[in-house]
Amino acid sequence: HSLYTNDDILHTVVFVRLKEATVLESAFETPVPVRFIFVLIGPSKSEIDYHETGRAMSALMADKVFNQAALKAKTAREVTDALTDFMDCSIVIPPTEIQNEAMLSSIVTFQKKLLRDRCQSSDPPPGPETKTRRVSIASDPPPEDPLARTGRPFGGMLRDIKRRYSYYKSDITDALNAQVLAAVIFIYFAALSPAITFGGLLADKVDNMIGVPELLISTSIQGIIFCCVAAQPVLVIGFSGPLLLFEEAFFAFCKSQDIEYIVGRVWVGVWLVIIVVIIVACEGSFLVRFISRFTQEIFSILISLIFIYETFAKLGRIFAAHPIINPPYPNTALLSMCLMFGCFFIAYFLRQFKNGTFLPGKIRRLLGDFGVPIAIFLMIVADYSIEDTYTQKLMVPKGLMVSNPEKRGWLINPFGEHQSFPVWVMFACCVPALLVFILIFLESQITTLIISKPERKMVKGSGFHFDLLVLVGMGGLSAIFGMPWLSAATVRSVTHANALTVMSKGTKPVIEKVMEQRVSGILVALLVGLSILMEPILKLIPMAALFGIFLYMGVTSLSGIQLWDRMLLLFIPKKYHPNEPYATRVSTGRMHLFTAIQVVCLAVLWIVKSSPISLALPFVLILTIPLRMLMTGRLFTQLEMKCLDADDAKVTFEEEPGQDVYCESQMPL
């Protein structure tokens, strides 16, 4: 507005309610969140006393009823009505008129009556709708904490079963969707390739005692059982790098002591079952509540970066094996690179295309849901059409047979295959069993935490206790068949959840829901097992195309991780920062300091993973838990930690119990 019109002085008044409380660093010396701003602009020479006007607004904002009305007001009229109500309940008496304390006491009594009537009138009338609303609020219990202890043996496990099995029918019917079918095809390749890759590596580390056939069958059978009975069937179980490191170390120990490795694994499995039964009976999964977002995000990015790094490492090995001699001539390395990036970019483009505006919505969603299968198929066609250049194909074993039939069968004798197994080793196996349990516990429980984050809007709940019992119990029993134990694979599980996520329409899509069901996991595990019989078809798939899928999984799993977003903000000017609590409620310098600490922890974990002491990785990861506790109240305030490390950073402070909804407006302007 113009301040001067026809020589008449105008004053401009603005009363602003921010969407979220914001720290105005340029306005105050202390970082106090502000929700309301009152601006009065006028000439320096004016009849209005600006200072007194500011004091009046401070008194007005300190009034709790007006503050609440201003917080909920939807129109300017509602604000002016609240101001009128405030004035009606205000009593102004000249000081000279107060003659004695009795008069003052009567005024206070009258004032209290006015305030009491005002507070009652500020509540909605007790109509039918209000009564119904109040009853429903009182009768609805708060969301159940899956990690809260019941105090009864196996109480947490029984609660997991009771909560999730009530949705069992919908876990089947919710799978009748094309997006679920697309997720099955995508996750099948995402699960098959690591099983074959890890199977080959495992066979090399343990003298071919366990290899690709055992890993495929174990992934299939345990996957089917898990998805049929688990409380969180969205999890994808599989072999992982930490378990590979353990198998290598345990094989080396058995070889040095002249002990049968395959028999030793049976006793490790026995102790695994004993340990997990004790932990679940004591509701030991409650310890997961100490794993905050600080640790979860470090672990998530570590696993994603491993996928991305391994993709380029494998491509580098192809370039080393097939060097480029004549650039214009077709070359294995160049074709592999084209197939890898081609598969990645097609899948990623179709993922983005799904939320675009080109073509009708049904066609966009169909192309987006089947983006990965389409990308793989196109790369198969491209590779098949180029006949003069060699590319490595997916290698799948033929038939059901163990990796080393001369030294073992499908059933392992726990007392020794070719020699008597020492009794002392049977009891000593409790030590490696404890290490295996810690590996599976950490990876599986952290993966469950990541999958169950509030922003995913999953409604059927999870089962930390029951799923741990099923997963570790199956692994322990499978050792007698000479099969590897498995854990919840983080990147594969996150990718599975992303593939089942339904996004809203528009330029800025948000998560609407996740198709929580069991069918996709069962079908993926079944297809992995049937892969042994599909060797003629699968051998047409170039490995480079699967490298592109690995890259796609690693890149897309970074989406939604707050730490990754804050790492990018290190290179983005402050004016372009998002309207998120960690960027608006915390000063930029403090936010970058918190990010830097997490990056240092991530670097330490990477160094440990790549060193000879890689088995210590879980223990180093655990150390981030006390580190986070140590920072709270010392390096960062409770408010800063709440914004940076909350389980759901999008929850506003007004919605949380125990918080004063008016505390954000106590700093008068």
Residue 532 exposure: Cα atoms within 13 Å on the Cβ side:
19
Number of H helices, E strands in the chain: 28, 8
What CA–CA distance (Å, rounded) separates 224 from 521?
Answer: 7
In one-letter notation, the amino acid at residue 544 is: A
Q: What confidence tier does 669 reach under pLDDT thresholds 50, 70, 90?
A: very low
**pLDDT score, position 1:** 37
Sign of CA dihedral 428, 432, 433, 438: positive
pTM (global) more than 0.75: no
Q: What confidence tier does 472 reach under pLDDT thresholds 50, 70, 90?
A: very high
Stretch among 78-82, 177-181, 483-487 having the lowest mean pLDDT = 78-82
Higher pLDDT pick, 199 / 521: 521
**pLDDT score, position 658:** 35
Q: What confidence tier does 633 reach under pLDDT thresholds 50, 70, 90?
A: confident
- Reduced to 3 states, what is the DSSP secondary structure of residue 60? helix
**pLDDT score, position 5:** 40
Of 45, 40, 11, the closest CA to residue 3 belongs to 11
Stretch 470-488: mean pLDDT, rounded?
90
Predicted confidence (pLDDT) per residue in 411-447, tens digit = 888 887 788 888 888 898 898 899 889 888 888 888 8
Residue 295 exposure: Cα atoms within 13 Å on the Cβ side:
23
What CA–CA distance (Å, rounded) separates 201 from 220?
Answer: 19
Stretch among 93-102, 230-239, 386-395 having the lowest mean pLDDT = 93-102
In one-letter notation, the amino acid at residue 314 is: K
Q: Where are the alpha helices (DSSP H) in 123-260?
A: 128-139, 155-165, 168-173, 178-205, 212-229, 241-256
**pLDDT score, position 613:** 77
Stretch 189-214: mean pLDDT, rounded?
80
What CA–CA distance (Å, rounded) separates 498 from 505?
Answer: 16
Predicted confidence (pLDDT) per residue in 16-62, tens digit = 888 777 777 666 666 677 888 888 888 877 777 777 787 788 877 87
Q: Are 348 and 555 in contact (CB under 8 A)?
A: yes
Asked whether the predicted pLDDT for residue 377 surpasses 50, the reply is yes
Predicted confidence (pLDDT) per residue in 275-324, tens digit = 999 999 998 888 888 888 888 888 888 888 888 888 898 889 888 888 87
**pLDDT score, position 135:** 36
Rg (CA), the chain: 32
Asked whether the predicted pLDDT for residue 334 surpasses 80, the reply is yes
Asked whether the predicted pLDDT for residue 6 surpasses 90, the reply is no
**pLDDT score, position 112:** 66
Q: What are the residues facing 37 on neighbouring strands?
A: 16
Of 558, 548, 491, 520, the closest CA to residue 372 belongs to 548
Stretch among 114-118, 349-353, 491-495 having the lowest mean pLDDT = 114-118
